[in-house]
Amino acid sequence: MMENKKLNILIPILSVLLGFLVGAIVMLAFGYNPIEGYAALFQGAFGSMYNIGESIRRTIPLVLSGLAIAFAFRSGLFNIGAEGQVFVGWFAAVWVGVAFDLPAIIHIPLAILAAAVAGALWAFVPGILKATRGVHEVVVTIMMNYIALHTTNYLIRTLLSDGGSQSERIANSAWLATPGLQEMFGYSQIHWGFIVSIIFAVFVWFFLEKTTYGYELRAVGFNPHAAKYSGMSVKRNIVLAMLISGGLAGIGGAMEGIGTFGYMYTHGAFTNLGFDGIAVALLGANTAPGVVLAAFLFGALKVGALSMPPLSGVPAELVEIVIAMIIFFVAASYMIRLVIMRFKKEEN
C-alpha cells in the first residue's frame, strides 16, 4: 500500500498532466495542432523575461487568495467570500496609498495592513454569524461578495474620485513596484508583491503546522466535538480562522491595488481572484507550498493563454478548459486513487 503523503503529491501532478491531455484532445477534435498550441502557451508564459515577469505578476494575488481559502479549509470552513475580501482589501490599500504621504518603508506596510484589516472585517461577519448563530458561512460570504462589489464601486465614485470610474493614482511611496525591477523583466508589470506572497505562504505554513493556534484550528476543522471536549473554544477558532483567511484575501487585493495597477477602478463583475483561489487551494492540497506551486501554474497558464491565438490560432479559452479539467481530476481524485492502487497491485 502506498503511503498517503506520496499520493497527495502524485494526484495533483497526475491531474495536471491529464488536464493537458484532455486539452490536447480538444484541440485535435477542433482541428488545431496541440503541439503548436502548447508551444505558443509555453512561449507566452516563459518565452521572454517580459512573459516571465507577467506570469509572476499574475501569480501573486492567486497565492494570497489560495492561501486564504486553504487556511479556512483546514479549519473546516469554506470561505467563498475571498472574492469580496479581495475587493475591500484592494480598496483599503489604494485608499491608504492615495490619502497619505509617508516614507515607503511605512507607507507600503500600512497599505498592506489596511487591506488585511478590511478583508478580516469582511470575513468577521460570516465568522461571527457562524460561531454564534450557526449560519452557514457559504451563504453569508456569497452575500458579502455582492456587498463588497457594489460598496467599493460606490466609494470609488464618491470618495476616491469625482464620480469617475477610477481612483486617483496612489503615491509613489506606496507603490510596490520599482522601475528597475520592471525593466529587468522586459518592462512587464511585475512588482515586489512576490516577496509579500512568499512571506505570507511561510507565515501560513508556520502558523498552521507549528503553533498552538494552528493545532487548535486544525483540530476544530477535523473534529469540532473532540476540540470542544479537549477545552478548545470552537467559536473563537471559527472567528479566528475567518479573520486570518479574510486578511490574506484582503492582502491579495492589495497586491492588485498597490502593485499591479496602482489604483482601483469600478468593476462590472467579480475579479475571479477569489474564486480562482478555490481552485488553487484544491490543487495545492490546502498546504502552503502546494498553494504557491498551484498559483504559479495557474498564473502562467492565464498569461500564456494570451499568446495562443496570435501564435497558433488556438483560442485562449482553451486554457480555461485545461484548468477546468485539472480541477475536475483533482476533485475526482478518489477515482485516480483507485487507478493508482490498481497499478500498484498489478506490479506485485
Partner 1 sequence: MEKYVIEMLNIRKEFPGIVANNNINLQVKKGEIHALLGENGAGKSTLMNVLFGLYQPEKGEIRVRGEKIKITNPNVANELGIGMVHQHFMLVEPFTVAQNIILGSEPTKGAGYVDIKQAEKEIKELSDRYGLSVDPSAKVRDISVGMQQRAEILKTLYRGAEVIILDEPTAVLTPQEILELISIMRNLTKEGISIILITHKLKEIMEVCDRVTVIRKGEGIDTVNVKDTNVDDLAALMVGRQVNFKTEKTPAKPKEAILSIKDLQVKDARQAMMVKGLNLAVRAGEIVGIAGIDGNGQSELIEAITGLRKSESGEIKLNSKTITNLSPRKVTESGVAHIPQDRHKFGLVLDYPIAENIVLQTYYKKPFSKNKVLSFKAIYEHADKLIKDFDVRTPSPKTKARALSGGNQQKAIIAREVDRSPDLLIAAQPTRGLDVGAIETIHRRLIEERDKGRAVLLVSFELDEVMNVSDRIAVMFDGQIVAEVKPEETNEQELGLLMAGSSKEKARQKAGEEK
How many of the chain's residues bind partner 1 (CB under 8 A)? 22
Task: Tell me the closest approach of the beta carbon of residue 329 to partner 1, in angstroms.
Answer: 22
Identified binder of partner 1 from the candidate list 196, 232, 294, 300, rule CB under 8 A: 232
Report the 10 Å Cβ neighbour count for 337. Answer: 15
If residue 88 lies in a helix (H) or strand (E), which one and from where to where? helix 82-99
Question: Does residue 225 touch partner 1 according to CB under 8 A?
Answer: yes
Task: Tell me the closest approach of the beta carbon of residue 222 to partner 1, in angstroms.
Answer: 5
Question: Does residue 211 touch partner 1 according to CB under 8 A?
Answer: yes
Closest by CA position to 98, among listed 172, 176, 164, 170: 170
Q: How many residues does the chain have?
A: 348
- Residues 43, 35: Cα–Cα separation, whole Å: 12
Question: Does residue 223 touch partner 1 according to CB under 8 A?
Answer: yes
Identified binder of partner 1 from the candidate list 230, 331, 335, 343, rule CB under 8 A: 230
Identified binder of partner 1 from the candidate list 132, 159, 210, 310, rule CB under 8 A: 210
Question: Does residue 231 touch partner 1 according to CB under 8 A?
Answer: yes
Question: Does residue 348 touch partner 1 according to CB under 8 A?
Answer: yes
Among the candidate windows 75-83, 144-152, 230-238, 255-263, which touches partner 1 by CB under 8 A? 230-238
Cβ atoms of residues 249 and 89 within 8 Å: yes
- Cell output for 316: 485562449
- Cell output for 163: 464620480
Closest by CA position to 262, among listed 96, 97, 106: 97
Question: Does residue 345 touch partner 1 according to CB under 8 A?
Answer: yes
Instruction: Return the number of the residue (56 or 288) whose C-beta is nearest partner 1.
Output: 288
Task: Tell me the closest approach of the beta carbon of residue 186 to partner 1, in angstroms.
Answer: 42
Question: Does residue 229 touch partner 1 according to CB under 8 A?
Answer: yes
Task: Tell me the closest approach of the beta carbon of residue 288 to partner 1, in angstroms.
Answer: 16
Instruction: Return the number of the residue (195 or 338) whose C-beta is nearest partner 1.
Output: 338
- Paired with 323 in beta bridges are none
Among the candidate windows 168-176, 207-215, 305-313, 324-332, which touches partner 1 by CB under 8 A? 207-215
- Cell output for 249: 484575501
Task: Tell me the closest approach of the beta carbon of residue 229 to partner 1, in angstroms.
Answer: 4
Identified binder of partner 1 from the candidate list 46, 50, 213, 265, rule CB under 8 A: 213
Among the candidate windows 9-17, 21-29, 157-165, 204-212, which touches partner 1 by CB under 8 A? 204-212
Task: Tell me the closest approach of the beta carbon of residue 214 to partner 1, in angstroms.
Answer: 8
Amino acid at 257: G
Question: Does residue 133 touch partner 1 according to CB under 8 A?
Answer: no
Identified binder of partner 1 from the candidate list 3, 162, 346, 347, rule CB under 8 A: 3
Closest by CA position to 295, among listed 287, 187, 18, 73: 287
Is 231 strand, coil or helix?
coil
Instruction: Return the number of the residue (105 or 133) whose C-beta is nearest partner 1.
Output: 133
Task: Tell me the closest approach of the beta carbon of residue 230 to partner 1, in angstroms.
Answer: 4
Cβ burial 30-64 (10 Å sphere, 16+ → b, else e): eebebeebbbbbebbbebeeebbbbbbbbbbbbbb
The gap between the terminal CA atoms of the chain, to the nearest Å, is 11
Question: Does residue 228 touch partner 1 according to CB under 8 A?
Answer: yes
Contacts 24+ apart (CB under 8 A), 318-325: 318/23, 318/26, 318/27, 318/37, 319/23, 319/41, 321/22, 321/23, 321/26, 322/19, 322/20, 322/22, 322/23, 323/19, 323/279, 323/298, 325/18, 325/19, 325/22, 325/23
Task: Tell me the closest approach of the beta carbon of residue 107 to partner 1, in angstroms.
Answer: 30
Instruction: Return the number of the residue (133 or 225) whose C-beta is nearest partner 1.
Output: 225
Instruction: Write out the residues near partner 1 by the rule CB under 8 A.
Output: 1, 3, 210-213, 215, 218-219, 222-223, 225-233, 345, 348
